[in-house]
Amino acid sequence: MGAADVLLRSDSRLLVEQLSGRFKVKNPTLQRLHAEVRSLARSFARVRYEHVPRERNKEADRLANQGVDGWLAGAGSGWAPPAPAPHLWSEPDER
């Protein structure tokens, strides 16, 4: 689309802090997704992250849910959640 300056708004303060580099991402699956987002962000001249409190985000949340529900009723009707991720670490045997 040609954007150079991006403002990402989220009602998740944790997400905003992680993407801004102020908080660490501890979950291995989220670490992979975090790295992907950070890599994509480098393709823009400027990326800013802004926390939007949930009480100020109700209409956006309603519209997002409406869009997901519409997709699931139509094009996404065959969608099923992915299988759980395999355990990355196994507990040591206690013999």
pLDDT digits (tens, 9 = 90+) for 61-75: 888 889 989 988 988
pLDDT at 92: 59
CA–CA distances in Å: residue 17 to residues 8, 11, 74: 12, 11, 35
Q: What angle do CA 84, 51, 15 make, to 5 degrees?
A: 25
- How much is the pLDDT for 13? 94
Q: Report the predicted TM-score, pTM, of the whole model to 2 decimal places.
A: 0.62
| CATH assignment, 5-61 | 3.30.420.10
Q: What residue ranges of the chain have pLDDT lower than 50?
A: none
Q: Where are the domains of the chain?
A: 5-61
Instruction: Return the pLDDT at 78.
Output: 86
